[in-house]
Structure 1
Amino acid sequence: MINYVLFDGPEVRPHLLPLVFTRPMAELRIGIRTITEKWTDWLGVQPTHYTQSYLQEKYPYKKGSDTIYIHGGLCPSERLIRSLEELEPGEALLQGPILLAVRGKHLPLESLIHDNPAFHKQYYWDKVTVVQRLPDLVAYNGEQIAADFERITEGRTSQPITDRFTAYYNESKIFIEEGVELRSAILNAENGPIYLGKDVQVQDGVIIQGPFAALEGAVINLGGKMRKSTTIGPHCKVGGEISMSILMGYSNKGHDGF
């Protein structure tokens, strides 16, 4: 059985500080899910993390005789999964100078670089979403909300919008989990999906433009303006105007202002 590991590339990690001081790269949230959660869904198994030694106690690394090491900033897709499965031991998958994945036995973290001569290189030519720098998180967030939305909602039925004072547009791209409180809001999913997670509170007068996601337990205060490509992580409390932003979770920006 193949062992899957999400690694913190030594060429990339410094560019994602300070966010990765306290977490592996794959624990960053982009779209609705973290990168780890995306891979767990696509692979059907929980990958482990190969990161800095001081983080390994919380995020343990599982060694294996047949391991596929995956760039911690890489977001999965069906075509990419197939390409990873086709890798032979000793082969690396690259796109330009970006090392996407390597298959092999235990490899030192510092060896996971694109120009390692020990790797037999294969190249991936389809489009990929890979986080290499901090601005990539917000640049790709809208498209990842849409991709995650399709995975999360496939074959499922949204809770109905029962509040008669809430207006909504493009209802097929709005998904509401159980326990959501929604009052006198405007939901516009014409330019991208809107996902409201379990027990989210959308208070009176809130305006939301898709693509947008609010995760479990989040609260959007009275009159909040949530613009496109925004993710509000679990148990956050937000207000005012927010645009092209990601709140990872358990954070507050409850005041008015932009």
Structure 2
Amino acid sequence: MCGTAKDPTIKGIKMQTVIFDDDALSNLYPLTLNRSIGDLRCGITKLRQRLESIFCDSEETCVIIAENLVPLYQERHPDWIINSAVRGEKLYLNSRIVITADAVEQIQKLDFGSCLYAGQNIVAIKVKDTSIFPDVAKLKKKLCNIKLYNCLADIIQDNSRMLMRDYHLHFYDGENYFETEPGVTVLHPYNVWVGEGAEFSPGVILDASEGPVVIDTGARIMANAVLCGPVYLGKKSLVKIGAKIYGGTSIGPVCKVGGEVEGTIFQGYSNKQHDGFLGHSYIGEWVNIGADTNNSDLKNTYKTVAYYSYTHKAKIDSGNQFLGCIIGDHSKTGINCSINTGTVIGIGCNLYGPNLIRDFIPDFSWGEAEKLEKYRFQEFCETAEIVKQRRNLSFTATEKELYKNIYNMRI
């Protein structure tokens, strides 16, 4: 997103910005098994896009990512500089940075030859050398109070705040195609932004009284749907008839969403077309949630919710009272499935039946929650190919190889 509106607190940093993933990658599994941390969505944009929009003066995107992801990223983004040396002055930024005005100011004030730390975590580095990644032992260490996202629950909880921040930074003063159409009710219209070609059917309510409503280019909202801000509907996404989309929800591109949704992030290219509740969850790409699938996002005891951590290989406390489910890419649920509070569903799962889906479903699982088998890899690939072809995309050999490696390591 280089070239978008700059954060007003930034005067301009004329150097190459490099966004790097650190060793916390596994803390954000299963979503980062097949993508960079910087490509996780939070608010309207992805983490990397937000850092670039604030700090990047160059048109080049420079990233440092896990080696196993490099072939896929080189295939998808041949113009990016990936895990390569960049000449000249450089600002390295941890992709997990939680953006606040104070964090921006601390990074802006960083001197050359210095490294910002939050505890043991590198937050930012400012250097003039040409190595791929600086030798931090030779740099001046400065402690800071900048926060980093440590898990997907952190991102879910911060989504409402980032929706409002992104709106005021990227959309508030941007070209707006918003027009009041017959039968469409808009509350607090100055907090509504509509992209070119967006469509609204009669009975739609856009309620921006408690936060912005952003309807991106080519999105469509069917009759009698209600969207309460802060909410983002991505490019070419569809909200179904009578849907109820509550605040804190980000729906990425090319999704179909219906029923009742609250405080949830859809990475993109996923469907929840039918009735059923989904709350305080993170949904990957190419996910399909069956009719009347429901999840719990609050315990009956009102205590904080625990979730399965790939890093710890056990459930840990999220510290949050509200936490629904986390679903990895290419996973599916059948009709009438029930998902318990804090459930983590890995990549490539196909789940059905009356048993409560709870705790942790390993990657590439197939069947009922109490009778899981390992998904046959060839069958997984065949389904993935069909699903992507429906969106005029291909399941490439590079993708297949990455998923094969994930399948073989099945955590």
Q: TM-score, normalised by structure 1?
A: 0.87
Matched, 1:91 2:114: yes
2:182 is paired with a residue of what secondary structure?
coil
1:212 aligned onto 2:224: no
Equivalent residues in 2 for 1:45-64 (5 A)? 45=58, 46-57=60-71, 58=73, 60-64=82-86
Relative contact order, higher structure (CA 8 A, sep 6+): 1
Alignment deviations for residues 113-165 of structure 1 (CA, whole Å, 9 cap, x no partner): xxx6544222335xx56322110111000011111111222432422333221
Residue correspondence of structure 1 range 223-234 to structure 2 within 5 A: 223-234=242-253
Q: Percent of counterpart pairs with the same letter?
A: 22
Q: Does 1:193 align with 2:193?
A: no
Cross-structure match for 2:144: 124
Could you list the structure 1 runs, at least 4 aligned residues long, displaced by more than 6 angstroms after superposition: none
Q: Among 174, 179, 184, which residue is 2:192 paired with?
A: 174
Q: Is the 1:5–1:62 contact (alpha carbons within 8 Å) kept by the matching residues of 2? A: no
Residue 22 of structure 1 corresponds to 34
Gaps of 5+ in 2: 1-13, 75-81, 278-411
Tell me by how many angstroms 1:95 deviates. Answer: 3.6
Superposition map of 1:77-88 within 5 A: 80-88=103-111
Distance across 2 between alignment mates of 1:37 and 1:63:
21
Aligned-residue offset at 1:97: 4.6
Deviations 1:190-237 (CA, angstroms, capped at 9, x unpaired)? 111110000110000101111100010000011111011000000111
Match of 1:243 in 2: 262
Residue in structure 1 matched with residue 77 of structure 2 by the alignment: none
Amino acid at match of 1:182: F
Shift of 1:79: 5.3
Aligned length, in residue pairs: 250
The change in CA–CA distance for 1:170 and 1:154 in structure 2 (over 3 A counts) is: closer
CA separation in 1, counterparts of 2:114 and 2:16? 15
SS at match of 1:94: strand
How far off is 1:21 after superposition? 1.2
CA–CA distance in 1 between the matches of 2:192 and 2:172? Answer: 13
SS in 2 for 1:140: helix
Cα separation, 1, equivalents of 2:133 and 2:26:
18
1:22-56 Cα distance to aligned partner (Å, 9 max, x none):
11111111000111221222223343211111212
Match of 1:136 in 2: 154
Which residue does the alignment assign to 2:91? 68
Of 131-140 and 69-78, deviating more is 69-78
- Inter-CA distance 160–3: structure 2 relative to 1 (3 Å threshold): closer
CA contact (8 A) 1:241 1:256 kept: yes
- Secondary structure of the corresponding residue to residue 52 of structure 2: helix
Structure 1 residue 164 corresponds to structure 2 residue 177: no
Q: Which moved more, 1:197-206 or 1:82-91?
A: 82-91
- Mapped contact 2:27–2:151 kept (Cα < 8 A): yes
Which letter does structure 1 place at the counterpart of 2:142? Answer: Q
The corresponding residue for 2:362 is none
**Cα deviation per residue 1:45-102 (whole Å; 9 max; x = unaligned)?**
3432111112123152341243322111125456544533433343111344543112
**Higher CA-based Rg:** 2
Paired AA for residue 4 in structure 1: T
Secondary structure, counterpart of 1:38 in structure 2: helix
Preserved contact between residue 17 and residue 52 of structure 2 (Cα < 8 Å): no
Q: For 2:116, what is the secondary structure of its paired residue?
A: strand
* Deviation (angstroms), 1:174: 0.8
CA distance in 2, matches of 1:61, 1:201: 38
Does the aligned pair in 2 maintain the 1:26–1:73 contact within 8 Å? yes
CA contact (8 A) 1:39 1:47 kept: no
**In structure 1, the residue corresponding to 2:42 is in which secondary structure?**
coil
AA aligned opposite 1:37: Q
